[in-house]
Amino acid sequence: MSGGYNEIHPEPTTFISKYLISFDHKVIAKQFLWYGIFFLGLGGLMALLIRWTLAYPGVPFPVLGNLLFPDSAGIVPPDSYAMLFTMHGTIMIFYAITPILIGAFGNYCIPLMIGARDMAFPMLNMLSFWFAFLSGVVLITSLFLPLGAASGAWTSYPTLSTMIGSPGAGQTFWCVAIFLFGISSTMGAVNYVTTVITLRAPGMGYFDMPLTIWGLWLTAILNAIFVPVLGAGVILLTLDRVLGTTFFLAGASATSGSGDPVLFQHVFWIFGHPEVYILILPAWGIVSDLLSFFSRKPAFGAKSTALAMTAVTVLSTLVYGHHMFTTQMSPLLTQSFMTLTMTISIPSAIFFANWLGTIWKGSIRFDSPMLFSLGVVFVFGLGGLTGLHLGTVTTDLYLHDTYFVVGHFHYTMAASVLLGGFAGIYFWFPKMFGKMMNEKLAKLHFWGTMIPLNGVFFGMLMIGYGGMHRRIYNPFVYDSLKRLIPINEFVTISAILMGLFQIVFVINFLWSLKKGPKAPNNPWEVGTLEWTIPSPPVHHNYDEIPVVKCGPHELGNPNLKTGRDFQYQTEELVQG
Amino acid sequence: MKRADLQSNLAMTVTLIMGAMLFTTLFMGYAIYRSASTYWPPMGFAKVALGLPTFSTFLILVSSLFCYLARVATQARKVEKARLYLHLTLILGLAFMLTQGFLWSHLKATGVYVSSGIFASILYGFTWIHAAHVILGLGTLLYLEIVLKNTSDSTIRKVINVEKFWHFLGIIWLIMYFTIFVL
pLDDT tens track for B145-160: 999 999 899 999 999 9
Contact assessment for residue A280 and residue A313, using Cβ atoms and an 8 Å cutoff: no
Show the domain range for B142. 3-182
B68 touching chain A per CB within 8 A: no
Cβ contact A198–B15 (<8 Å): no
Contact assessment for residue A553 and residue A292, using Cβ atoms and an 8 Å cutoff: yes
Identify the structural domains of chain A with CATH numbers, from first to last. 24-532 (1.20.210.10)
CATH of the domain at B97: 1.20.120.80
Helical spans, DSSP H, in A392-484? 393-399, 403-409, 416-433, 439-465
- CA dihedral of residues A341, A342, A348, A354 (deg, nearest 10): -170
Q: Residue A222, by phi and psi: left (phi above 0), alpha (psi -120 to 50) or beta?
A: alpha
Residue type, A415: A
Q: What is the pLDDT of residue B183?
A: 85
Q: Which of A499, A521, A482, A390 is nearest to A445 (CA)?
A: A499
CA A276 to each of CA A217, A280, A548: distance values in angstroms, whole numbers, following the listed order:
15, 6, 33
Q: Helices A368-391 and A416-433: crossing angle, nearest 10°? A: 150
Of B17, B41, B43, the CB nearest to A225: B17
Burial tier of A81 (Cβ tally within 10 Å: 0-12, 13-18, 19+): buried
Of A197, A244, A257, the CB nearest to B37: A257
Measured in angstroms, the CA of B45 and the nearest CA of chain A are apart by: 8
Cβ contact A236–B19 (<8 Å): no
Q: Please give the DSSP secondary-structure letter assigned to residue A18.
A: I
Contact assessment for residue A75 and residue A65, using Cβ atoms and an 8 Å cutoff: yes
Cβ contact B22–A198 (<8 Å): no
Taking CA atoms, what residue in A is nearest to B11?
Answer: A190
Q: What is the pLDDT of residue A3?
A: 41
Measured in angstroms, the CA of A180 and the nearest CA of chain B are apart by: 15
Burial tier of B61 (Cβ tally within 10 Å: 0-12, 13-18, 19+): middle
Helical spans, DSSP H, in A296-438? 302-316, 331-343, 345-359, 368-391, 393-399, 403-409, 416-433
Of A191, A231, A256, the CB nearest to B22: A231
Probe site for chain A from B2, B12, B16, B18 (most A CB atoms < 10 A): B18
Cβ contact A257–B117 (<8 Å): yes
| Cβ contacts of B76 within 8 Å, gap of 6 or more | none
Probe site for chain B from A164, A190, A230, A317 (most B CB atoms < 10 A): A190
Instruction: State how far the Cα of A313 lies from the Cα of B46, in Å rounded to an integer.
Output: 45
Probe site for chain A from B15, B39, B121 (most A CB atoms < 10 A): B121
Taking CA atoms, what residue in B is nearest to A179?
Answer: B22
Residue type, A498: M
Q: Please give the DSSP secondary-structure letter assigned to residue A381.
A: H
Instruction: State how far the Cα of A66 lies from the Cα of A497, in Å rounded to an integer.
Output: 21
Instruction: State how far the Cα of A74 lies from the Cα of A62, in Å rounded to an integer.
Output: 8
Q: 3-class DSSP state for residue A555?
A: strand
Burial code (b: 16+ CB inside 10 Å, e: under 16) for A555-564 equals bebeeeeeee
A146 prior amide bond cis, ω within 30 = no
A159 prior amide bond cis, ω within 30 = yes
Helix (H) or strand (E) holding B142: helix B118-147
Q: What is the pLDDT of residue A2?
A: 38
Cβ contact A246–B43 (<8 Å): no
Taking CA atoms, what residue in B is nearest to A223?
Answer: B18
**Half-sphere exposure of residue A53: CA atoms within 13 angstroms, side-chain side:** 25
CA B140 to each of CA A80, B21, B71, B136, B164: distance values in angstroms, whole numbers, following the listed order:
44, 21, 14, 6, 11
Q: How far is CA A177 from the centre of its chain?
A: 18
| Cβ contacts of B24 within 8 Å, gap of 6 or more | A229
Q: Which residues of B touch A240 (CB under 8 A)?
A: 121
Instruction: State how far the Cα of A452 lies from the Cα of A380, in Å rounded to an integer.
Output: 16
Q: Please give the DSSP secondary-structure letter assigned to residue A299.
A: P
Measured in angstroms, the CA of A228 and the nearest CA of chain B are apart by: 5
Instruction: State how far the Cα of B139 lies from the Cα of B127, in Å rounded to an integer.
Output: 18
Q: Looking at residues B23-38, what average pLDDT do you find?
A: 91
Probe site for chain A from B14, B28, B113 (most A CB atoms < 10 A): B14
Query: Phi and psi (nearest 5°) for A522?
Result: -140, 70
Q: Which residues of A touch B6 (CB under 8 A)?
A: 1, 4, 197-198
| Cβ contacts of A121 within 8 Å, gap of 6 or more | A5, A190, A191, A194, B7, B11
B109 touching chain A per CB within 8 A: no
CA A86 to each of CA A83, A153, A160: distance values in angstroms, whole numbers, following the listed order:
5, 4, 12
> How many domains does chain B contain in total?
1
Question: How many A/B residue pairs have CB atoms within 8 Å?
Answer: 131
Q: 3-class DSSP state for residue A4?
A: coil
Measured in angstroms, the CA of A253 and the nearest CA of chain B are apart by: 10
Which DSSP string corresponds to A118-133? Answer: S-S-HHHHHHHHHHHH
Query: Phi and psi (nearest 5°) for A452?
Result: -65, -35
Instruction: State how far the Cα of A278 lies from the Cα of A102, in Å rounded to an integer.
Output: 9
Contact assessment for residue A205 and residue A306, using Cβ atoms and an 8 Å cutoff: no
Q: Which of A471, A116, A79 is nearest to B3 (CA)?
A: A116
Which DSSP string corresponds to A507-546? Answer: HHHHHHHHHPPBPPS-TT---SGGGGS-SSPPTTS-SS--
| Residue pLDDT tens, chain A, 576 long | 334 456 777 778 788 888 888 899 999 999 999 999 999 999 999 999 999 999 998 899 988 888 988 888 899 999 899 999 999 999 999 999 999 999 999 999 999 999 999 999 999 999 999 999 999 999 999 999 988 899 989 999 998 998 888 888 999 999 999 999 999 999 999 999 999 999 999 999 999 999 999 999 999 999 999 999 999 999 999 999 999 888 998 765 555 567 889 999 999 999 999 999 999 999 999 999 999 999 999 999 999 999 999 999 999 999 999 999 999 889 999 999 999 999 999 999 999 999 999 999 999 999 999 999 999 999 999 999 999 999 999 999 999 999 999 999 999 999 999 999 999 999 999 999 999 999 999 999 999 999 999 999 999 999 999 999 998 998 889 998 999 999 999 999 999 999 999 999 999 999 999 999 999 999 999 999 999 999 899 998 998 899 999 999 999 888 888 888 999 999 999 887
Instruction: State how far the Cα of A529 lies from the Cα of A539, in Å rounded to an integer.
Output: 16
Q: Which residues of B touch A225 (CB under 8 A)?
A: 17-18, 21
Q: What is the pLDDT of residues B74-96, one digit of tens each?
A: 999 999 999 999 999 999 999 99
Which residues of A make CB contacts under 8 Å with B?
A: 1-6, 120-121, 186, 189-191, 193-194, 197-198, 224-229, 231-233, 235-236, 239-240, 243-247, 252, 254-260, 263, 267, 270
Q: Which of A234, A263, A239, A225 is nearest to B127 (CA)?
A: A239
Q: Which of B121, B131, B148, B126 is nearest to B94 (CA)?
A: B131
**Half-sphere exposure of residue A351: CA atoms within 13 angstroms, side-chain side:** 30
ipTM of the complex: 0.95
Of B4, B14, B39, the CB nearest to A189: B14
Q: 3-class DSSP state for residue A21?
A: coil
Q: Which residues of A touch B128 (CB under 8 A)?
A: 239
